[in-house]
Structure 1
């Protein structure tokens, strides 16, 4: 079993699962098409889930099990995921860990979704659900996930999940940001790094920007926009480069003069390239084929990895670390959590809290304020 990209006549792509005979696994394909077109998931999501389903089906084939009945042996599948690297193998070294807890949990989530969908569409028996979930109540959920009314509710809780250590996501420091800027080889690359660090865009939002989304005029009313000052519109739409805005709702992100200046320098550079001049995408290939084609999300990672190497940053800075740095800088400068939520495009404020990385000086100032407030002289 392996994953395979499918391009629809409309140009929209999703990933499916095919066997060694090159035939599509119909039940998996139905689920993945539902994700892409029924639930409006990103192409990258279908790729991840297709990979998870392919691993599950490969394990079923290697162990001689029907994929429906194998749902009752999930602990064995978890052990296989941890120690077996090749889809066709049934055993690996007990001392070698091939996949970590986070990767295994991601695979399990995809498999649960696939099997649940199969049950819902009568492709698998109802008994499968009992192997995947147990009844639990909402009391073990975080407070923000229980609902505002506080009513006790039953819910389905996944039976199989590998414990993982929750580490705070990386935050790119201001020094990292400056080092990356110095290591950039073009005006385009500088604008890309600046927008990640000074606007907090996701990589899919970044390379999905169109020229019509850039409102850098002092007065944008001529464009039918009343938002004051220079800003970007982040819009969810289908893109030929696989870029995808995660939020279903469009948002406006204000930008500062550094972004505007970097944008002008980039478009001066871009105007020298005839193949790139006509593209509606903001970020296009200038230095490798196909010239003028929109950059892909994967190209953003490659660019940052190369710049990090030139800047001698170890580990390399990834796009989301710059987004984390942006959110933390907004708070360090006195911004509020609801402002961060709006700027990052989060539907829930609890999602924004994951991005908070108070600077050491801000933590020091907080302690100093408490100490000053509690001393007798301050009363």
Structure 2
């Protein structure tokens, strides 16, 4: 069993699972197509799920279990994941040997398996009793009245039966000093534009690599471009892109930008125009220094770039693209912006998602305490 990428005639791509003779595993393929096109999931999501389901099917094959009902031994599968190497030819291995996967990775694999089996029950290819193997169902009938909800109705809750405890690590923000160090380590105008776009506009790497030239409205009045938003800004839109770039949100959004980002883009355009193959490409970010010249940059290349920049800048850690996005959100809030403003800029559907990006600076925390102290002093003086 292995994960395998499928390209459709429409140029859309998704990942599926094939056996050793490259025959598609029908039930898994149906689920992954449903995930990709029915739920509008990213190609990278189907890749992660295909790899996870490959492991599940391989375990079922090794242990001679039917994948439809093997959920009753999902705890044994988690143990197998913890100790079995990635090598597909590896034998069954149990506790006592070094761990090869951490709790977070195992939980993500289990989540993919639960999604597949839940879908299989819904379409009738797995028996309904599988759900009881996957989830522990409870209700709110024994909760205190105050905790039962305003409507007083009976509500049911399903909790996964198999989930490993994970340490709370969270994603840290990139500091302003780290962002400046990354800029100083850049060797091209394109790379400087990439760092500034993530640090000053909060773009995800998939959104950045999916930008087209028509999305850039770095003019005072964009009405001539058919846009009603004033001031320099860019548009983030979900599209099917040949480089695998994917905008996470279904809703398009316009992101205002500052003069630094406009300057970084203008400088990059001059550099880009010197590459003849790039002139015909509609993508903003293109390969300028290695083949295939002029082709769209891959989202994975952004990670490779920041890894190299972090090393060249002699930073104490590798800065990840998402840490620059967290830094942008924190800067918005530190500058007095509200949660709903940060939510719109980041493209979050819920404010709760934006709250995770709030990393108050030490000075902002100090100011909050001082305001409380000042209020108490004023109250005593009266």
On whether the aligned pair clears a TM of 0.5, the verdict is: yes
Q: What RMSD over aligned residues (CA atoms) do the two structures have, in Å?
A: 1.8
- Who is 2:363 aligned against? 361
CA offsets 1:182-235 (integer angstroms, 9 cap, x no match): 011100000001000000011100000000100001110101111111001100
Contact 1:6 1:13 in 2 (8 A): yes
Q: How many equivalent pairs are there?
A: 374
Work out the CA distance in 2 between the residues paired with 1:150 and 1:316.
50
Partner SS state of residue 233, structure 1: strand
Deviates more, 1:17-26 or 1:237-246: 17-26
Determine which of 225, 228, 231 is the counterpart of 2:230. 228
Contact 1:208 1:244 in 2 (8 A): yes
- Who is 1:69 aligned against? 69
* 1:31 equivalenced with 2:42 (yes/no): no
- Who is 1:85 aligned against? 85
- Using a 3 Å threshold, how does the CA distance of structure 1 residues 37 and 114 change in structure 2: closer, same or farther? same
Alignment of 1:167-178 (within 5 A): 167-178=169-180
- Using a 3 Å threshold, how does the CA distance of structure 1 residues 67 and 198 change in structure 2: closer, same or farther? same
- Who is 1:212 aligned against? 214
Cα distance, 1:168 vs. partner? 2.8
Cα distance, 1:74 vs. partner? 0.5
Alignment of 1:1-379 (within 5 A): 1-86=1-86, 87=88, 88-137=90-139, 153-375=155-377, 379=382
Q: Give the gaps of 5 or more residues in structure 2.
A: 143-147
Work out the CA distance in 1 between the residues paired with 2:52 and 2:122.
19
Cα distance, 1:314 vs. partner? 2.8
Contact 1:75 1:160 in 2 (8 A): yes
Please report the TM-score for the alignment, with normalisation by the length of structure 1.
0.95
Contact 1:372 1:378 in 2 (8 A): no
Structure 1 runs of 4+ with >6 Å offset: 146-150
Please report the TM-score for the alignment, with normalisation by the length of structure 2.
0.94
- Using a 3 Å threshold, how does the CA distance of structure 1 residues 152 and 349 change in structure 2: closer, same or farther? farther
Work out the CA distance in 1 between the residues paired with 2:140 and 2:287.
49
Q: Give the gaps of 5 or more residues in structure 1.
A: 141-145
Partner SS state of residue 220, structure 2: coil
Contact 1:191 1:266 in 2 (8 A): yes
